[in-house]
């Protein structure tokens, strides 16, 4: 703002600051400097460094930074041109000035504010106008004493000049408004140098009006269009030189990318910026400063847009323009899309695919956005190990699908194996389940005849199998009556593979109208232990407490009796699978019984291996899995038929109704 005593740095002072002494006398003689030799990897002590003798320079490797032997940079070239064409500073009559090239439109509110300050503090010093002399062919004849004898074009200070021009018309008798202090330059300045000066004018001085993001983008667009028309491929360096006095490198790069958008995208971006400047975007809240000076969008909001495909940028800008998406939502969506594109490229590289269409054709269930978003949480500077395991699993599944395999929703697989979990053999799983890549979740329905040693042996075997498959992060859940929870917890602790186990209980309401004196046992326990990186526990029920209430859903035989009176509800397994595994990961259902855990895994989109030692039980399990898969296929067929009928009805809306009725009767 205007100060009573502080004097603003003029353009002339800025240019004089550029005059550096580049004489060679200030450069040290490198050859005569003492050379120091450093040992690696041990560090030389301070005393031994002082006693090292000087070595000939031929024996010392060149550690000095070499100067670039290249052409002068555009920034240095423009500054040198500006210094050479600076004529001086002087007061110039308002009548000898006219408004020339400007970087932005004049804002009336700022002009009125400036006029009120000039009227109240007319004796104070204001930022000099940046002008180009018009009526002097030989600039060597210019003298500051006769500066009022020429005419000039104002290229920097449009608000200052407009306010002073109006005040000179309002108060023609006051001498203070009849002239303005100006920094004068030759008319030999190039277009780039004039733009550089105009931009510099906004960065130097106390009373200045900063350019908005819209102004900067439009400036870059104008330079981009003018330079590309004449075939200048160095327009980016020119822009950087013009913006360099006050803009960071990242902002300069962003402005250059936005300026190079195609015509339709740039038009849509302008419309969004215009709505932002008017405060009409969805969810836009204005601060007091923005209400006074006008809203302005921050550059970081658009930083992730240029890297996206044209269609994605157009879609998001359209959503923002039509007030269906806020600026913050657009920023988050752009960041997520950039990560998704990175995941897509990694996915295709790992699977050896040429295009994303090939990926969608070969892996339709895993190329959906919901699946790929799971990998966006990892560090994508390098390919995440989780994505590598996921893709290798997909390749193994594609190479071999056993005839004894049940395929559920989203293409996940279920393998029922005749195997005793107490003497589990990892080689059998590797042989019978070729696509197995390690279990993210192991569920053990603890048998009644097991003790702590059996649980410990099982846990050690599972850990060994997972380590062999490079699965370092997994969870073990042991279901047992409340009285056996302490046994399971102690066995897991003694294995020393897991973090501190967690205790969890669930209740299955039971209606018991008998007159028996005993209480009805309706609460069961689960001991949960994690190895490796922990995951956030959140139940599907919507909370994180260690208690759930689930409904009983027994699986019945043909005669109407439950297959197993001790079977657990599918819902409790769904909670475990959803909380401790991700889509398409493997779940081991040990001591499977009726297979409720395997059914839950298929329903939640996980691969599963069911282990059961009883042949009759494993046969019943296969029948249940077959029924589950058959119901899924019937639902899929009905859905496809519904979609097909709807499409046919839309395309052939004029079909005779009578013909359809006849066809139905014939059928």
Residues 171-224 have pLDDT tens digits of 888 888 888 888 888 888 888 788 777 777 665 544 444 567 887 888 788 778
* Diameter over CA atoms, the chain: 120
If we measure between CA atoms, which residue out of 630, 607, 618, 614 comes closest to residue 433? Answer: 607
Do residues 242 and 226 lie in contact, with contact meaning Cβ atoms separated by under 8 Å? no
**pLDDT bracket for residue 442 (50, 70, 90):** very high
**How would you label 388-414 residue by residue, b for 16+ Cβ within 10 Å and e otherwise?**
ebbbbbbeebeeeeeeebbbbbbbbbb
**Are 283 and 429 found together in one domain?**
no
Least confident interval from 120-134, 285-299, 311-325, 508-522: 508-522
**Are 440 and 309 found together in one domain?**
no
> What is the tens place of the pLDDT at every residue in 283-339?
888 776 666 566 778 888 888 888 888 888 999 999 999 999 998 899 999 999 999
pLDDT at residue 551, as a whole number: 81
118 part of a folded domain: yes
Q: Give the list of residues 6+ apart from residue 19 with CB closer than 8 angstroms, or none.
A: 83
pLDDT at residue 128, as a whole number: 78
pLDDT at residue 85, as a whole number: 84
Distance linking the first and last C-alpha atoms of the chain? 88
157 part of a folded domain: yes
Phi/psi for 638 (5° steps) reads -60, -40
pLDDT at residue 552, as a whole number: 77
Phi/psi for 120 (5° steps) reads -80, -40
Q: At what angle do helices 249-259 and 235-243 cross, to 10 degrees?
A: 130
> What is the tens place of the pLDDT at every residue in 239-264?
777 676 567 788 888 888 888 888 89
32 part of a folded domain: no
Q: Give the list of residues 6+ apart from residue 364 with CB closer than 8 angstroms, or none.
A: 411
**Are 84 and 164 found together in one domain?**
yes
347 part of a folded domain: yes
CA 137 to chain centre: 56
Q: Which of 207, 240, 268 is the last residue of a domain?
A: 207
65 part of a folded domain: no
9 part of a folded domain: no
**Are 475 and 524 found together in one domain?**
yes
Pairing of strands 152-156, 129-133: antiparallel
Phi/psi for 553 (5° steps) reads -140, 70
Measured CA to CA, the distance from residue 298 to residue 210 in angstroms comes to: 13
Measured CA to CA, the distance from residue 83 to residue 187 in angstroms comes to: 13
Residue of 85 and 72 predicted with greater confidence:
85
134 part of a folded domain: yes
If we measure between CA atoms, which residue out of 31, 157, 19, 36 comes closest to residue 79? Answer: 19
Pairing of strands 179-185, 86-93: antiparallel
**Are 458 and 597 found together in one domain?**
yes
Q: Is the pLDDT of residue 51 over 60?
A: no
> What is the tens place of the pLDDT at every residue in 531-551?
987 666 678 777 778 888 888
What is the spatial order of strands in the sheet that 129-133 belongs to? Answer: 86-93, 179-185, 129-133, 152-156, 97-99
CATH number of the domain that 197 lies in? Answer: 3.90.1530.10
**Are 316 and 381 found together in one domain?**
no
> What is the tens place of the pLDDT at every residue in 8-32?
334 444 343 334 343 443 333 333 3
Judging by beta carbons within 10 Å of its beta carbon (0-12, 13-18, 19+), is residue 7 exposed, middle or buried?
exposed
Q: Which of 616, 631, 646 is the last residue of a domain?
A: 631
The label of the residue with tokens 């790069």 reads: 253
Q: At what angle do helices 213-229 and 191-201 cross, to 10 degrees?
A: 170
Q: How many domains does the chain have?
A: 4
Cα–Cα–Cα angle for 35, 39, 45, nearest 5°?
85
**Are 183 and 220 found together in one domain?**
no
Least confident interval from 124-133, 351-360, 423-432, 643-652: 643-652
pLDDT at residue 452, as a whole number: 92
> What is the tens place of the pLDDT at every residue in 270-279?
899 888 887 8
If we measure between CA atoms, which residue out of 278, 287, 292, 291 comes closest to residue 321? Answer: 278
**Are 184 and 253 found together in one domain?**
no
**Are 472 and 420 found together in one domain?**
yes
Q: Give the list of residues 6+ apart from residue 393 with CB closer than 8 angstroms, or none.
A: 435, 437, 584, 586, 607
Q: Which of 143, 177, 207 is the last residue of a domain?
A: 207
Do residues 180 and 64 lie in contact, with contact meaning Cβ atoms separated by under 8 Å? no
Element (H, E) at 331: helix 327-351
Give the domain range for residue 415.
404-511+519-631
**Are 480 and 377 found together in one domain?**
no
**How would you label 486-497 residue by residue, b for 16+ Cβ within 10 Å and e otherwise?**
ebbbebbeebeb
Do residues 155 and 93 lie in contact, with contact meaning Cβ atoms separated by under 8 Å? no
Q: Is the pLDDT of residue 646 over 70?
A: no
CATH number of the domain that 498 lies in? Answer: 3.40.50.150
**Number of C-alpha atoms within 13 angstroms, CB side, residue 570?**
15
pLDDT at residue 657, as a whole number: 41
47 part of a folded domain: no
> What is the tens place of the pLDDT at every residue in 650-666?
444 444 444 434 443 44
pLDDT at residue 487, as a whole number: 93
**Are 251 and 385 found together in one domain?**
no
**Are 491 and 559 found together in one domain?**
yes
């Amino acid at each position: 703002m205007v100060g009573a005593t502080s004097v603003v740095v003029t353009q002339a002072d800025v240019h004089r600051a550029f005059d550096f002494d580049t004489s060679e006398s200030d450069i040290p003689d490198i050859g005569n400097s003492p050379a120091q030799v450093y040992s690696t990897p041990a560090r030389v002590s301070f005393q031994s460094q002082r006693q090292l003798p000087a070595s000939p320079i031929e024996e010392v490797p060149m550690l000095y930074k070499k100067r670039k032997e290249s052409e002068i940079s555009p920034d240095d070239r423009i500054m040198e041109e500006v210094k050479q064409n600076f004529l001086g500073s002087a007061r110039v009559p308002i009548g000898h000035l006219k408004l020339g090239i400007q970087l932005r439109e004049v804002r009336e509110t700022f002009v009125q504010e400036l006029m009120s300050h000039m009227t109240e503090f007319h004796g104070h010093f204001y930022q000099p106008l940046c002008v180009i002399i018009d009526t002097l062919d030989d600039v060597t004849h210019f003298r500051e004493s006769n500066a009022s004898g020429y005419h000039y074009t104002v290229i920097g200070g449009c608000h200052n000049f407009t306010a002073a021009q109006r005040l000179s018309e309002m108060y023609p008798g006051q001498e203070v408004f009849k002239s303005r202090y100006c920094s004068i330059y030759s008319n030999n300045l190039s277009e780039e140098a004039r733009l550089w000066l105009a931009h510099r004018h906004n960065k130097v001085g106390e009373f200045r009006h900063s350019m908005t993001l819209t102004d900067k983008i439009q400036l870059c667009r104008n330079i981009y269009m003018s330079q590309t028309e004449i075939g200048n491929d160095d327009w980016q360096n020119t822009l950087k030189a013009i913006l360099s006095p006050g803009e960071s490198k990242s902002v300069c790069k962003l402005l250059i990318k936005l300026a190079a958008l195609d015509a339709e995208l740039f038009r849509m971006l302008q419309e969004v910026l215009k709505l932002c400047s008017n405060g009409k975007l969805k969810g836009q809240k204005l601060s007091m400063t923005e209400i006074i000076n006008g809203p302005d969008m921050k550059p970081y909001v658009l930083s992730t847009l240029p890297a996206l495909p044209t269609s994605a940028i157009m879609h998001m800008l359209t959503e923002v323009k039509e007030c269906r998406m806020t600026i913050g939502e657009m920023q988050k969506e752009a960041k997520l899309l950039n990560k998704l594109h990175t995941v897509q490229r990694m996915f295709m590289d790992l699977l050896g695919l040429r295009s994303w269409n090939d990926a969608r054709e070969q892996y339709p269930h895993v190329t959906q956005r919901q699946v790929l978003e799971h990998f966006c949480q990892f560090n994508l500077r390098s390919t995440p190990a989780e994505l590598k395991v996921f893709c290798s699993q997909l390749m193994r599944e594609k190479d071999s699908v056993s005839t004894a395999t049940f395929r559920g929703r989203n293409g996940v697989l279920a393998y029922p194996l005749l195997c005793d979990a107490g003497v589990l053999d990892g080689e059998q799983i590797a042989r019978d389940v070729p696509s197995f890549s390690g279990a993210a979740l192991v569920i053990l329905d603890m048998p009644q005849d097991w003790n702590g040693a059996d649980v410990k042996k099982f846990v050690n075997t599972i850990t060994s199998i997972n380590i062999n498959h490079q699965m370092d992060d997994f969870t073990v859940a042991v279901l047992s009556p409340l009285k056996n929870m302490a046994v399971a917890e102690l066995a897991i602790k003694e294995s020393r593979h897991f973090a501190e186990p967690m205790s969890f209980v669930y209740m299955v309401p039971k209606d018991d109208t008998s007159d028996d004196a005993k209480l009805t046992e309706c609460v069961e326990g689960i001991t949960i232990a994690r190895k490796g990186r922990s995951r956030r526990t959140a139940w599907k029920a919507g909370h994180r407490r260690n208690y759930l209430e689930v409904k009983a859903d027994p699986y019945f035989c043909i005669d109407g009796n439950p297959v197993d009176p001790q079977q657990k509800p599918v819902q409790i397994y769904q909670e475990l699978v959803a909380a401790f595994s991700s889509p398409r990961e493997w779940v081991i259902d040990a001591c499977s019984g009726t297979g409720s855990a395997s059914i839950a895994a298929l329903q939640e989109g996980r691969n599963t291996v069911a282990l059961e030692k009883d042949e009759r039980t494993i046969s019943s399990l296969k029948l249940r899995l077959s029924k589950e898969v058959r119901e899924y296929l019937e639902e899929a067929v009905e859905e496809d038929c519904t979609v097909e009928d709807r499409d046919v009805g839309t395309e052939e809306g004029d079909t005779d109704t009578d013909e359809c009725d006849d066809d139905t009767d014939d059928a």
